[in-house]
Structure 1
Amino acid sequence: MLNHVLHNREGRRVALIVNDMSEVNIDADLVREGGAKLSRTEEKLVELSNGCICCTLRDDLLAEVRRLAEDGRFDYLLIESSGISEPLPVAGTFSFRDEAGQSLSDVARLDTMVTVVDAASLLKDYGSHELLADRGQVAGEGDARSLIDLLVEQIEFADVVVINKVSEVSPAERGHVRAVVRGLNADCRIVETDFGRAPLTDILDTGLFDEEKAERHPMWFKELHGFKDHVPETEEYGIESFVYRARRPFEPARFAAFIQASWPGLIRAKGHFWLATRPDWAGEFSLAGAIVRTSPLGRWWASIDRREWPDHAEWRRHLMTRWDESWGDRRQELVFIGHGMDEAAVRAALDACLLASADDFRPAAWAKLPDPFPRWGHSQAA
């Protein structure tokens, strides 16, 4: 796609930064050899190697973009970060101010975040349990991300998703790929291509990036917090979504069985929950493809002495909108997004996870229930 852009600049003077994790920058070599023949006077290719933009090379990126902008010879800068880079830190680099108070936003405007998806491999990868380390692609020591973690992050944050190699898949597979992309990102512009030949007007000078919007961009966030502007788009692509809410706690063993089950058509799920054995703790639930995670999110305000609550009237009013006489702010709130999923079956299964005998808050009576989840905190029952 980079070669395509450079072949069809339509009068734009383009600078290109190509980032790669290896010492020998293969991607930059491919661009050079692709026939674009970058002019020393009109285009510039800059290589940032042996690191990724989202971590070790941030200072290099700051310096290089500022230098290119101040040079005054370029209309547009394309940055291709490493394939394992997360887009949010790259975007954040543009609003970051260094110790001298300087920022890239003073000299450049972040226009569009583009993710290129391989139609021929997305469905297989989305069902994978592989870690990035299994493919020899990590950002550094201790990088324990899964392949799906990266796919979801890059698709959810994109303004434009280019689905490439569409001629290599059947019409049915193409529809499934579209559904996964739209299920993860309701607002992105989808462009379908072969050989990366996306129309330049779809990826350059779009004005689509909005920092405030990006902070609440994922579809699960919109569903959970009531942003409904995306509904017509999702209906067009056959995407279904719903939010499951309940006050009673989950019985741990039943909820553990639920998250280990297979739910056909489910693309993404996210939210918070609470277990009868852990009345102080809000748990976080996240599902993407074949990867399911639960972790502690923090303590419910109901478990904290009110004298320690923030002394902020608006905050307290907001909390009280979610307050229950028996449960406080404890609640189940999970969003599910899918294509052809059985909402009724998922809801029924979650209802069956709720503690049947819990009419009011009695944690001492639940403390000895079987709990297969890893330990979260000191206040949890053993």
Structure 2
Amino acid sequence: MPMDDNPLTDDERNDRNDGSTPVVTICALTETQRVAAAGSVLVDLDRGVQLSFDLLNHRGLIRRRIHDLTGIVEDTLIPMEHGCAHCSLRDVVIRSLREWSAHGRPIVLALPPTTEPATIVPDLIEAADGDRLRIGGVLVAIDAATVESDLFGDDLLDERGIAQGATDRRAVGEVVAHQIEYADAVVFGAPLSTRQAAILDHLARETASRCQLHSLSGADLLDVESHDHFRTATDGCRTAAVEPGPATDAADSDGIWTIELLSDRPFSPDRLRSELPALGAGPLRGRGHFWLPTRPELRCVWDGAGGQLSVGPAGEWPGPQQTRLVITGAGGDPAVVRAAFDRALLTDAEYVGGAERWARVDDGMDPWLGVRMIG
């Protein structure tokens, strides 16, 4: 979908021209991708200014660089104010946006490489409320040549030398998946192959545009009204999409497929662990939620990519319990995944005894879901 498929009318643009300062947010896996995308947006904005941030965790500092088309305006190091690097970054970014909003110039916000937009953009939107800021589109830059291996391979960020500190054990795949799934626009250098395009068809939001760098329109991104695309549950600074939205309407193509697995039954804790290799390992992107008979009140999040699977608590159920996974694969047989899902669900016989029976069972999930009193 090109950037200008649904341009705003002149009246709509005038409605947006309310004196607020628009912000385009750039996310990427690598510095090279970030520089290319941010530069392409900046040259397209009248009087635009770029604010770039980098985490220097080993020194307890955040680097802030500000420049426009005339050159460097500022290059400064700011001490982190929290033990949490993400919290420090959020606070510095918000203060910087507020400071520069007084200049009335469109802002290109280049976040540190490997930053996942869902961990900071909702905070920016909340902070902008009442200020002279308007958070516009989120642009994610990818490398077309490596997007499949980035998403479905098993490399860790630190194995590629791009981790955000010594404790960052994220997989490349989970970062790229979280970036693409949040994006308002996805940009790339070389043209996409049909298989690469199919990957975006299955993972990117239906309304997200995509284009090559040379046809990118920064002005169109200013006109996007950003929002928190997912209902989220927050555990400290970890934000996970517990509601992946409807399964894609994209057709299976070039070996890329998506299936929705749905049941009102919980997983058997023991069989869930035994079926994890089929459900969460290999070239799969999985997202969703589930429940266990040992913790019927707890909604559990499922978030897997890059050969890693993260499960954790996501609060109480707002309605009836449900087990729902949306899984996208690159190659392989979706029937194998569906069969593993079915085997992991509680059987009729296991329902006998109800909650009282399962209240006395140790589910072995305390490390992921929290300590549970048995009895």
TM-score of Structure 1 vs Structure 2, range by shorter chain: 0.5 to 0.7
1:353 aligns with 2:370: no
Output aligned runs, 1:226-265, within 5 Å. Answer: 231=249, 234-235=250-251, 240-261=257-278
Equivalence for 1:69:
101
Q: Deviation at 1:363?
A: 5.1
Task: Tell whether the 8 Å contact from 1:220 to 1:336 is kept in structure 2 after alignment.
Answer: no
Letter paired with 2:343: A
Output aligned runs, 1:153-192, within 5 Å. Answer: 153-166=178-191, 174-192=193-211
Deviations 1:148-167 (A, max 9, x none): 3322222221100112344x
Q: Which has the higher contact order (CA 8 A, sep 6+)?
A: 2
Q: Deviation at 1:214?
A: 5.4
1:38 aligns with 2:69: yes
Gapped runs of 5+ residues in structure 2? 1-35, 233-239
Name the SS of the counterpart of 1:71 in structure 2.
coil
**In the aligned structure 2, how far is the partner of 1:119 from the partner of 1:250?**
37
Task: Tell whether the 8 Å contact from 2:242 to 2:288 is kept in structure 1 after alignment.
Answer: no
Equivalence for 2:49:
15
1:332 aligns with 2:349: no
Identity over aligned pairs, percent: 23
1:223 aligns with 2:246: yes
Which among 226, 230, 245 is matched to residue 210 of structure 1? 226
Task: Tell whether the 8 Å contact from 2:290 to 2:302 is kept in structure 1 after alignment.
Answer: yes
**In the aligned structure 1, how far is the partner of 2:183 from the partner of 2:79?**
22
Task: Tell whether the 8 Å contact from 1:268 to 1:338 is kept in structure 2 after alignment.
Answer: yes
Task: Tell whether the 8 Å contact from 1:183 to 1:267 is kept in structure 2 after alignment.
Answer: no
**In the aligned structure 2, how far is the partner of 1:290 from the partner of 1:334?**
16
Q: Deviation at 1:188?
A: 4.7
Q: Kindly tell me: are residues 119 and 361 of structure 1, through their superposed partners in 2, closer, same or farther at Cα, counting changes over 3 Å?
A: farther
**In the aligned structure 2, how far is the partner of 1:48 from the partner of 1:188?**
37
**In the aligned structure 1, how far is the partner of 2:296 from the partner of 2:107?**
51
Q: TM-score, normalised by structure 2?
A: 0.67
Equivalence for 2:304:
287
Gapped runs of 5+ residues in structure 1? 98-102, 225-229, 301-317, 323-328
Q: Kindly tell me: are residues 94 and 299 of structure 1, through their superposed partners in 2, closer, same or farther at Cα, counting changes over 3 Å?
A: closer
Q: Kindly tell me: are residues 165 and 55 of structure 1, through their superposed partners in 2, closer, same or farther at Cα, counting changes over 3 Å?
A: farther
Task: Tell whether the 8 Å contact from 1:95 to 1:105 is kept in structure 2 after alignment.
Answer: no
Give the count of matched residue pairs.
321
Q: Deviation at 1:83?
A: 0.4
**In the aligned structure 1, how far is the partner of 2:287 from the partner of 2:76?**
35
Task: Tell whether the 8 Å contact from 1:115 to 1:161 is kept in structure 2 after alignment.
Answer: yes
